[in-house]
Structure 1
Amino acid sequence: MTTGLHARRSLLRQTAAAAAATLAAPALVLAQQPAHGGGNGAAGPIRIGEINSYTAIPAFLHPYRNAWLLAQDEVNAQGGIHGRPLETVFRDDAGRPEDAVRHAGELVNVERVHLLAGAFLSNVGLAISDFANQHRRLFVASEPLTDALVWSRGNRFTFRLRPSTYMQSAMLVEEAAKLPARRWAIVAPNYEYGQSAARWFKELLTRARPDVQFVAEQFPALGRIDAGATVQALAGARPEAIFNVTFAQDLTNFVRQGNTRGLFERRHVVSLLTGEPEYLLPLGDEAPEGWIVTGYPYADLDNPRHNAFREAYRRRFNEEPRCGSVVGYDTVTAIATMLRRTGGATGTDAMIEAMRGLRFPTVFGTAEVEFRAIDHQSTLGAFVGKTALRDGRGVMVDWRYADGAKYLPPDEAVRQMRPQSAS
C-alpha cells in the first residue's frame, strides 16, 4: 500500500510538471506573433483564445491540450481554413472564475482573438459564458457540464460540446432504475457541477422509480474532501446504493477511505465520470469493481476513426489518449468544421449561424455529432459500463455507447428552461 501511494504521488508530480512545461513553451511562441495576424486578410491566422484550468486539473487538461495541438496541426497541414492557419492563444485560469474573465478580456482586447473556447469547471464556464454574452463573442465550451450553461443561463453566444449533467445522469439512471436498491445516498462536490448532477439524478431516478428515497447527501468542498468523515456520514445512513459525483483527487481519497471502512461492501455504486482513465487509472489496484459509470474505454474501443486518432496520439506523445484528449481534439474539429462552413469568415454573427445545427465527426467513431439549434448543446454521447480490475488497474467493461441525442428532454421543456433572448 505504501509503495502504491508513493507511486501515485510521483505520477501526480510528473503530470503536473508536464502540464506546466507544455503551458510555458507554446505561450512563448505565441507571444512573439503579431497581435492580430493580418486582421481579416486571407493570409492572416484565425485566432482562438483558449482558457482552461491547466494547473488545477492537470490529469485531464494535459492530454486535452496535447490533442488540441494535434488536431490544430492536422488542420494546418491540410492548408488551414481556406488558406488561413488556426492559431491558439492558451491561458490558465487556475480554476478561478475571476481569472478566467480577466483572461477573456485580454484575449479579446489585446490578443484580438476571433472566438473563445475551453473551460473545465462549471463555475468557470458560466463566468466565461456571461463574458461572451456581454461582449458578443462566440464561446465554444469544451468541458463544463452544468446544464445552466445551455438552459437557465444559456445565451446566443455559447455552445457546449460534452454531454451535460442532465444527459449523463439520464444515462446512469437508465441503469440505476434496474437495481433493487430503494435507499440511496449522494456524494458530490459542493459547486455548480456537483449540485446540478445531484439534482438531476434525484429527479430522474424518482421519475423512473417512485419507490426510491434519498437518505443522505454529502457535499464536500471541491478539492478538499474530508473523506473519512464523508464516508462515515454516508455509512451511518445505511443506504443500499450510492450516487457518486466526486472526481480527481477527491475521488481517490473517497475510494480509499470507502475501501478501508467497508462502505462499498454489499452496496451498489453509480458514479459519474469514474470510467474516464484520468480518474480510474490513478486508483491502481484500489480501483473499485462493479461500479456503474460513465467513461471512455480507450484501449478497447475499436473502429477506424478512433483507431487512427489513438495511433496518431500515441506516435506524437508516446502515451495513450485520455478522455481529455477526445474533448480537446473534438473541440478543434468542431471549430474547424464551423469555419469551413462560414467560408473562413470570422465575424461573430456568421460563426454563430454556422454553429447552429453544425454536424461534425467525433473521434469516438460514432455517427456525426450535432450542435442543436434550440439550445446549442451538442449530441456527443458517453460510454456507460462497469468498472473492473485488469492486471492491477481499473478498466471499463460491459460498456456501450449512449448517443447523447437520446438523453435530452423534449424541445418544449428546453424552451421553458432557456431564456427567449438566448435564441
Structure 2
Amino acid sequence: MQHRRQTISLLAKAAAITAILAAGLAGGLAGGLPAAAAETGPVRVGEINSYTGLPAFTIPYRQGWQLAVEEVNAKGGVLGGRKLEVISRDDAGKPDDAVRVAQELVTNEKVDLLAGTYFSHIGLAVADFAARNKVPFVAAEPLTDAITWAQGNRYTFRLRPSTYMQAAMLVEEAAKLPAKRWATVAPNYEYGQSAVAWFKQLLKEKRPDVEFVAEQWPAQGKLEAGPTVQALAAATPEAIFNVTFGADLAKLVREGETRGLFRNRKVVSLLTGEPDYLEPMKDEAPEGWIVTGYPWEQIDTPVHKAFVAAYAARFKDQPKQGSLVGYTTMKAIAAAIDKAGSTDREKVVDALSGLTLDSPVGPVTFRASDHQSTMGAFVGTTTVKDGRGTMKDWRYADGTAYLPSDEAARKLRPAE
C-alpha cells in the first residue's frame, strides 16, 4: 500500500511539472518569439509613404531606401548581425490612412520604429501618433517647420531641410535682385503656407522695400493653370516666388511660358531644381529660375560618385532627390540602432538625438535641440541641357548655416 501511495505521488508530481512546462510554452507562443529569437530576429522598420499619390518622388525614394537596406545587411546588419527589415505601406495621400497603417504596423507587424511620409500634413499626423504611442519616427521628407518646432515631440526627427531652411537659402539670392514687387503661388496646405510665410518674413527682413502684390493658392494637384497665370500677370509683379511642384509645376511652367508670364521676370522656386520634377519636363523646363534642387550628375565627391554608381548598378537608373532622401533615411536609422545598442524605443530616441552620420552629400547631424537634421540643399539656376532640365551655377548650402541657434530652437518647441 505504501509503495502504491509513493507511485501515485510521483505520477502526480510529474503531471504537475508537465502542465507547468506546457503552460509556459503556450504562453511563450502566445506572446511572440522566445527572447533569444527576438534578440536575433530582424529589426523591423515600418515605412509609410504616398506611393500612389506622388510616384515621381516616392518610387525613387523607395529605391533609395532599398539600396541602403541591402548595403546595411550585406555588411552584417545591425546590432552585431541582425538584419534590417522594412515593412512598407501606402498612405494614399490621406492623414487618416497614414495613422491607420501606422497603428497596424506597430500593433500587428511589431515594428521597432516608423519612418517616411512625404506630404507635410501626413507627416504631422504620423508624428502625433508617434508621440502618443512613444514610437520613434524618422520623418524623411515632410518639410513643414511644425514637425520639429511648434508640434515637435520627443519621438519625431526630420531629415530634409525644412521650409524655413530652404526659404532662407533662396532669400539670400532673392534679396540680391532689384525686384520690389513680388507675387507668390503655392499649394494651399501646410507645406505651401509655411514656405510662403517664411519667404515673405525673411525677405522683408533683408529688404524692407519689397512688397507682395498677389498670392495664388491652388489646391495641391489641382492647379488651374490659365486662371492662375492670368491672376499673377494682372498683379504686374517684378518677381515670383513659386512653391508648386510635380504636375502642378509642369502646368504652371507651360501656361506661363505660353502667356509670357515669366518674360523679363525673375522666378525664385522651391524644389524646382530636383530631377524628380525638372527632368519630366524635358526641354520645356524653365530657364533661369533660382531654385533649390539636386544636380546629381555634377557632384563629383568620391562618396557621392560611389552612391550614384551603386544606385545605377542596382536599378539601371540615375538617382533623384527622392533616392537620396530614402537612402539617407535608412542609413540614419541603422546608425541610430547601432548607437543605441538595442531596439528599446527610448534608447533609440536617445541615440537619434545628436546622431551624426555621413551621407552622399556630406555629414548630417540630427540636432538634439529640435530633432532637425543639418542636411542642406543645392541652390542654383535652372537650364536646359541635352534636351532636359538641370541646374547650373549651383552651390551646396549646408543646413547648419540656415537654422536658428539651439537656444532659439528649444523655445520654438512645446515643453516636454
In the alignment, does 2:390 pair up with 1:395?
yes
The letter of the residue matching 1:116 is L
Tell me the residue number matched to 2:6: none
Q: Please say which structure displays the higher CA radius of gyration.
A: 2
Tell me the residue number matched to 1:199: 197
SS of corresponding position for 1:339:
helix
Tell me the residue number matched to 1:384: 379
Tell me the residue number matched to 1:71: 68
The letter of the residue matching 1:122 is S
Shift of 1:410: 2.3
Tell me the residue number matched to 2:275: 277
Residue of 51, 57, 61 corresponding to 2:58: 61
In the alignment, does 2:369 pair up with 1:374?
yes
Tell me the residue number matched to 2:328: 330
In the alignment, does 2:386 pair up with 1:350?
no
Shift of 1:93: 0.4
What number of residue pairs does the alignment pair up? 384
Tell me the residue number matched to 1:308: 306
Contact 1:36 1:112 (8 Å CA) reproduced? no
Q: Structure 2 length normalisation: TM-score?
A: 0.91
How big is each residue's C-alpha offset from its partner over 1:133-157, in whole Å with a ceiling of 9 and x where there is no partner? Answer: 1111000000000000000000010
Contact 1:42 1:83 (8 Å CA) reproduced? no
Shift of 1:67: 1.2
Stretches of structure 2 that go unaligned for 5 or more consecutive residues are 1-30
How big is each residue's C-alpha offset from its partner over 1:206-255, in whole Å with a ceiling of 9 and x where there is no partner? Answer: 00100000000001000000111000000000000000000000000000
Shift of 1:94: 1.2
SS of corresponding position for 1:420:
coil
SS of corresponding position for 2:391:
strand
Tell me the residue number matched to 2:225: 227
Identity %: 62
CA distance in 2, matches of 1:320, 1:99: 31
How big is each residue's C-alpha offset from its partner over 1:56-78, in whole Å with a ceiling of 9 and x where there is no partner? Answer: 01010111101111110110011
CA distance in 2, matches of 1:140, 1:182: 39
Tell me the residue number matched to 2:357: 360
The letter of the residue matching 1:340 is D
In the alignment, does 2:388 pair up with 1:405?
no
Contact 1:185 1:216 (8 Å CA) reproduced? yes
SS of corresponding position for 2:292:
strand
CA distance in 2, matches of 1:100, 1:69: 21
Tell me the residue number matched to 1:217: 215
Shift of 1:342: 1.2
Q: 1:299 to 1:91 in 2, by over 3 A?
A: same
The letter of the residue matching 1:371 is F
Tell me the residue number matched to 2:26: none
CA distance in 1, matches of 2:367, 2:39: 30
For structure 1, which segment, 408-417 or 173-182, has the greater mean C-alpha deviation from structure 2 after superposition?
408-417
Shift of 1:36: 6.9
The letter of the residue matching 1:153 is Q
CA distance in 2, matches of 1:249, 1:325: 19
Contact 2:171 2:203 (8 Å CA) reproduced? yes
* Superposition pairs of residues 163-178 of structure 1, within 5 angstroms: 163-178=161-176
The letter of the residue matching 2:359 is T
CA distance in 1, matches of 2:411, 2:109: 38
Residue of 115, 118, 121 corresponding to 2:119: 121
Shift of 1:282: 1.1
For structure 1, which segment, 37-46 or 220-229, has the greater mean C-alpha deviation from structure 2 after superposition?
37-46
Shift of 1:41: 2.9
For structure 1, which segment, 407-416 or 124-133, has the greater mean C-alpha deviation from structure 2 after superposition?
407-416
Q: 1:38 to 1:176 in 2, by over 3 A?
A: farther
Q: 1:329 to 1:417 in 2, by over 3 A?
A: same
Q: 1:268 to 1:37 in 2, by over 3 A?
A: farther
How big is each residue's C-alpha offset from its partner over 1:230-286, in whole Å with a ceiling of 9 and x where there is no partner? Answer: 000000000000000000000000001100100000000000000000100111111
Stretches of structure 1 that go unaligned for 5 or more consecutive residues are 1-34
Shift of 1:415: 2.5
CA distance in 2, matches of 1:339, 1:346: 6
CA distance in 2, matches of 1:38, 1:373: 35
Contact 2:269 2:291 (8 Å CA) reproduced? yes
CA distance in 2, matches of 1:156, 1:88: 23
Shift of 1:170: 0.2
CA distance in 2, matches of 1:133, 1:411: 22
SS of corresponding position for 2:248:
helix
Residue of 266, 269, 279 corresponding to 1:268: 266
CA distance in 1, matches of 2:182, 2:32: 54
Q: 1:38 to 1:247 in 2, by over 3 A?
A: farther
In the alignment, does 2:40 pair up with 1:43?
yes
* Superposition pairs of residues 128-167 of structure 1, within 5 angstroms: 128-167=126-165
Tell me the residue number matched to 1:295: 293
Contact 1:36 1:113 (8 Å CA) reproduced? no
SS of corresponding position for 1:388:
strand
Contact 1:38 1:44 (8 Å CA) reproduced? no
Q: Structure 1 length normalisation: TM-score?
A: 0.89
The letter of the residue matching 1:327 is V
